[in-house]
Amino acid sequence: MITRSHIDDFRHRGVVHIPAALDATAIEIARAAYDWSLAHPGRGAAQLLPGTPGAFYGDLANPASFDPYTEVNTKTPIAGIVAELWQKPDVWFMYEQVFRKTGGEAEAAQRTPWHQDLPYLPVAGNDLAVVWISFDPLTTEESLEFIVGSHIGPLYDGSRFDPRDETLPLYGTGDLPRLPAIQADRSQYDIVSFPITVGDLVVFHPAMLHGGAPTKPGRERHTLSLRYFGEDAKVAWRPGDTAARVAQIGDGPEVHPMTRAKRLGEGASFRDPGFPKVH
For residue 163, pLDDT beyond 90: no
Percentage of the chain surpassing pLDDT 90?
87
Mean pLDDT, the chain, rounded, equals: 95
State mean pLDDT over 216-229. Answer: 93
- Give tens-digit pLDDT for 107-154: 887 888 999 999 999 999 999 999 999 999 999 999 999 999 999 999
Of residues 75 and 163, which shows the higher confidence score?
A: 75
Q: What is the pLDDT of residue 75?
A: 98
For residue 51, pLDDT beyond 80: no
For residue 106, pLDDT beyond 90: no
CATH fold for the domain made of 4-234: Jelly Rolls (2.60.120)
Residue type, 202: V
Q: What is the pLDDT of residue 125?
A: 98
Q: In degrees rounded to 5, what are phi and psi of residue 95?
A: -170, 170
- Mean pLDDT lowest for which of 8-17, 157-166, 239-248? 157-166
Of residues 201 and 1, which shows the higher confidence score?
A: 201
Q: What is the pLDDT of residue 57?
A: 93
For residue 72, pLDDT beyond 80: yes
26 vs 32: CA distance, rounded Å:
10
For residue 182, pLDDT beyond 80: yes
Domain ranges of the chain: 4-234
Percentage of the chain surpassing pLDDT 70?
100
3-state secondary structure the chain: CCCHHHHHHHHHHCEEEECCCCCHHHHHHHHHHHHHHHHCCCCCCEECCCCCCCEEEEEECCHHHCCCCHHHHHCCCHHHHHHHHHCCCCCEEEEEEEEEEECCCCCCECCEEEECCHHHCCEECCCEEEEEEECCCECHHHCEEEECCHHHCCCCCCECCCCCCCCCECCCCCCCCCCCCHHHHHHHCCEEECCECCCCEEEECCCCCEEECCECCCCEEEEEEEEEECCCCEECCCCCCCHHHHHCCCCCCCCCHHHHHHHHCCCCECCCCCCCECC
Q: What is the pLDDT of residue 103?
A: 87
State mean pLDDT over 209-221. Answer: 89
Q: What is the pLDDT of residue 56?
A: 86
For residue 105, pLDDT beyond 80: no
